[in-house]
């Protein structure tokens, strides 16, 4: 189990859980990052927004907040 914010550019992961307050969980759910969702990391630089591709959409996430998303590493 890893945090989404620890994944490197070019890697792929499957979301396993989302933590945080109700509002954050609600928002993350409504943009599609639910458990089981495949996420490709497009860009991950320190202290910069994390850019991921999931459910047909390019999404920019706050770097700190994305440590609330736990993922399982995946191939391809």
Partner 1 sequence: MTAKNEIVIALLGQPNSGKSTLFNGLTGLRQHVGNWPGKTVEKKEGSFTHGDKKYIVADLPGTYSLSANSDEEIITRDYIASGKADVVCILADSSQLERSLYMLSDFAGIEVPCFLLLNMSDVAKDQGKDINAKEMSDKLGIPVVLFSAPNVKKYDAFYEALETAVANKTVLNTSSLEQKYKDIPDYSEIRNIIGDYKDGNRTGMWLAIKTLEGDLPVTAKVKAELGNEKTAELSSVLDRCEKGIVKAGECKFAWIDELTAGSVKKEKKAAGLGKFDRLITHRIWGKPVVVLTILLERTDISIPLKTAVWKIRILDLEMKR
Residues forming the site for partner 1 (CB under 8 A): 17-18, 22-23, 25-27, 29-32, 34-37, 40, 42-43, 45, 48-49, 51, 53-58, 60
Q: Whose CA is closest to 15, among 52, 56, 47? A: 52
Euclidean distance between CA atoms 35 and 26, whole angstroms = 13
CB of 28 to partner 1, least distance (A): 9
Q: Which one, 43 or 64, has the nearer CB to partner 1? A: 43
CB of 2 to partner 1, least distance (A): 19
Euclidean distance between CA atoms 9 and 23, whole angstroms = 28
């Amino acid at each position: 189990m890893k945090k989404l914010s620890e994944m490197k550019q070019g890697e792929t992961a499957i979301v396993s859980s989302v933590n945080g307050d109700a509002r954050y969980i609600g928002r993350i759910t409504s943009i599609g990052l639910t458990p089981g969702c495949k996420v490709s990391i497009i860009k991950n630089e320190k202290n910069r927004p994390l850019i991921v591709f999931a459910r047909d959409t390019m999404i920019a996430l706050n770097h700190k907040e994305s440590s609330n998303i736990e993922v399982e590493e995946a191939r391809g």
